[in-house]
Amino acid sequence: MSTQKNAQFNVVGERLPRYDGADKVTGKAIFGPDVALPGMLHGFVLRSPHAHARLRSINTSRAEALQGVYAVVTAADLPPAGSTDHRYARDNTFASDKVLYVGHAVAAVAARTQALAEEAARLIEVEYEVLPAVTDVLAAMQDDAPILHEDMRTHSLAGRGEKPSNVASHFQQLKGDPAHGFAEADVIVERECHTATVHQGYIESHAAVATWSDDGVLTVYTTTQGSFAVRDHIVWLLDLPMSQVRVVPTEVGGAFGGKNTSYVDVAAALLARKARRPVKITMPRPDVFLATGPSSGAIFRVKMGAKRDGHITAVQAELFYEAGAYPGSPVGSGATVMFGPYAIPNGQVDGYDVVTNGPRVSSYRAPGGTPGNFAVETLVDELAEKLGMDPIEFRLLNHAHEGDERVDGGTHGSIGGIEVLKAAQACEHYRAPLTGPNQGHGVAHAFWGNWGGRSSCTLSVNGDGSMNLVTSSVDLSGTRTTIAMQAAEALELPPERIRPSVGDTDNTGYADVSAGSRTTYATGIAAIQAAEDVIAQMRARAAALWDVPVENVAYANGVFSAASDLRFTFAELAEQVTGSGGSVSSMANIDAAEWGAGFSTQIADVEVDPETGKVTLLRYTVVQDVGQAVNPTMVEGQMQGGATQGIGWALYEGYAYNEKGQMLNANFLDYKIPTALDVPMIETVIVEVPYPKHPFGVRGVGEPPILPPPAAIANAIYRATGVRPDRLPMTPAHLLEKMGVIGDW
């Protein structure tokens, strides 16, 4: 769907092709696994076949003796651990005492070829004492559960627990008087939901090439969302000066939060140092499932109450999030956003971060939010139904406004949630009749906070008036283009004058990871500031050339002028200033402390086969507030892609473990992500409620669209079948069981 272009802008709002497009359609773009250096060796990581075991011994001598093997490394090659967090990060690089999940790295080999490195890894003798494993969150919380970390005690409001526990922390959010609120309610609904562990499913595996200079400088080429995050991780684990580590980010073949964390960089660096040769490690696909950072499987117990007039009076929720082998699940952000859209007077949310024998979870697009949205928005749908209200009218009646305090204690800033709901209500799809039996229509709504953070942008003026723009913000899906478009807008020049690129940690200012829907927003602000500074410098140079006071030099539409006869186009002045007095460039470094939240409402039409339980998506619409769409085509792409990931979460995706804690589906055949056949065209409605603290009104876009699909589809399934799913993924087996077609599965 097209948007009305905002007349105040020249470049922002245009559907421009991406700067990196030609390289992406010709195979010339260099991704992580494409990097090769002269003399490079190939690394392979030996991983644990056990979900929980004590490491008795590791004997690497036979591997080292194999011809063509240059280095073997283990945890013994890492500097000793300091803090607990450091120990966790160190142990997740190479296990030292215990292995905590199938796929846990034990050792790594560098050899002349990949095949040889794998052969050598098989010669490493590891003696394990196998321990009982636990992969289920509730089982891990039982008193008799196998304990992963003997020194772990639960952190809670009551302080530090006394007994060893797999519950790393328990927090509580409390607003008003929930007991009183539920007493006031005329209708109360509640449900327990179970959601599976899911993976970001980027198609490009993690890959890194490490090389050392003979004076101790380490360079790492890697596929990552944050070159500085990788640098800082390497510095932390290898105890090196920051200036001695250069991280060069490659093009990134999908990330979605999963490449915020470093997995093979330190191993490659250790191997390269020992071998005195460049070493490349590319993770095989099964290792990506087993040993990177998927998103938490979780369990929710949620209760909501409302008065007959439709007003929500109280909510209560317990969230149990699996962290994997080390603490740090996104239960906090899950709790923060789940009730976020609504003005709720009384609420209590308890969150538990629980370690289990699985890979340490990491971020996945709106971390922690999607399963919580499923739990809450299916209940919201049920409340609306029981009150006899239209589901969007019910949400509008209860919607939060700017200044409202949420259950988590935060206060809403400028938000466009109501505008999003109204746009969904107005769109043709919401009113469109279904066309056959066993079909249903569902809707869900979501809030996501987004992020700001630290960004840097350098803009350099060339003698012909063209400019190079360099940021340290890795471009995951088009931000080079959206950042350059904002610079062009601020410069009042055509975007083709600017060539944007992504720099490395040696030649750019610091930036946080490209995550949290922050890059177009925050790095965009840095680009605008650099552009404004370039204009200011150019005005000063024009003033000097013309010998007039700088305040007399005007700049508009790419032209500097003073008095009636003094005039330079940007390019003319650029030619003058680079010829004498030094060239013009500017670096802006920002830390965006405030940012605009996002909302998305989605509408799903489904058909459920009553005999097989198969769900077919007939029609799908994504409505979202993006503040100001910098490039509407790319915004649509984010909305469609995010929703499709949510559709996969809803219907297909989930880690399957056996009783030994081994993952049974670590491949793209058995861990099914949506294919082109599984989704219809994804209709989009872009809503623009400008965020007042960005010069052009931009809000983050990437994360909100992944939140509503499971609930929207579950609510549609309910209307098609009369049963409410309470599991993700909503497999045919789950639906057939709910429908009473089959028994327990």
Q: Is residue 203 at the binding interface for other proteins, with CB under 8 A as the rule?
A: yes
Site string for other proteins, 281-310 (x = CB under 8 A): -x-xx-------------------------
- Using DSSP, state whether 479 is helix, strand or coil: helix
Pick 516 or 637: Cβ nearer other proteins: 637
CB of 634 to other proteins, least distance (A): 7
Binding residue for other proteins (CB under 8 A) from 77, 204, 350, 489?
204
Nearest by Cα to 353 from 61, 141, 643, 96: 141
Binding residue for other proteins (CB under 8 A) from 222, 644, 662, 731?
644
Binding residue for other proteins (CB under 8 A) from 1, 22, 242, 656?
22
Binding residue for other proteins (CB under 8 A) from 136, 636, 688, 737?
636
- Using DSSP, state whether 248 is helix, strand or coil: strand
Structure tokens at 678: 């599984």
| CB within 8 Å of 65: residues ≥ 6 apart | none
The single-letter DSSP state of residue 745 is: -
Pick 49 or 254: Cβ nearer other proteins: 254
**CA dist., res. 482 & res. 496, Å (int):** 13
CB neighbourhood size of 56 (10 A): 9
Q: Please choose, out of 391-399, 530-538, 572-580, 678-686, the segment that lies near other proteins by the rule CB under 8 A.
A: 678-686
Counting residues that bind other proteins (by CB under 8 A) gives: 56
DSSP per position, 585-601 = EEEEEEEE-----EEEE
**Cis peptide leading into residue 729 (ω within 30°):** yes
Pick 48 or 644: Cβ nearer other proteins: 644
Q: Is residue 645 at the binding interface for other proteins, with CB under 8 A as the rule?
A: yes
How many helices and strands (H and E) does the chain possess?
Answer: 20, 29
| Residues in region 461-520 near other proteins by CB under 8 A | 476-478
Q: Is residue 643 at the binding interface for other proteins, with CB under 8 A as the rule?
A: yes
CB of 69 to other proteins, least distance (A): 15
Task: Tell me the CA distances in angstroms from 654 to 115, 201, 619, 673, one per residue in order.
Answer: 31, 11, 24, 10
Pick 251 or 265: Cβ nearer other proteins: 251
DSSP per position, 206-230 = PEEEEEE-TTS-EEEEE--S-HHHH
Residue 110, beta-bridge partner list: 43, 71
34 HSE (CA, 13 A, CB side):
11
Q: Is residue 640 at the binding interface for other proteins, with CB under 8 A as the rule?
A: yes
Q: Is residue 607 at the binding interface for other proteins, with CB under 8 A as the rule?
A: no
Q: Does residue 646 contact residue 370 with C-beta atoms inside 8 Å? A: yes
| Residues in region 89-118 near other proteins by CB under 8 A | 115
Pick 17 or 82: Cβ nearer other proteins: 17
CB of 477 to other proteins, least distance (A): 4
Q: Is residue 39 at the binding interface for other proteins, with CB under 8 A as the rule?
A: no
Amino acid at 575: E
Task: Tell me the CA distances in angstroms from 621 to 51, 445, 713, one per residue in order.
Answer: 41, 12, 11
Q: Is residue 624 at the binding interface for other proteins, with CB under 8 A as the rule?
A: no
Pick 195 or 223: Cβ nearer other proteins: 223
Q: Is residue 30 at the binding interface for other proteins, with CB under 8 A as the rule?
A: yes
CB of 15 to other proteins, least distance (A): 8
Report the chain's C-alpha Rg in angstroms.
27
- Using DSSP, state whether 106 is helix, strand or coil: strand
Binding residue for other proteins (CB under 8 A) from 3, 11, 12, 18?
18
With tokens 């990134």, the residue in question is 252
Nearest by Cα to 332 from 482, 171, 459, 474: 171
Structure tokens at 138: 């509730």
Q: Is residue 257 at the binding interface for other proteins, with CB under 8 A as the rule?
A: no
Q: Please choose, out of 386-394, 428-436, 666-674, 716-724, the segment that lies near other proteins by the rule CB under 8 A.
A: 666-674
Binding residue for other proteins (CB under 8 A) from 4, 7, 27, 431?
27
Binding residue for other proteins (CB under 8 A) from 70, 94, 202, 568?
202
Residues that bind other proteins (CB under 8 A): 17-18, 20-31, 33-34, 115, 200-205, 251-256, 282, 284-285, 476-478, 633-634, 636-637, 640-645, 667-669, 673-677, 679, 681-682
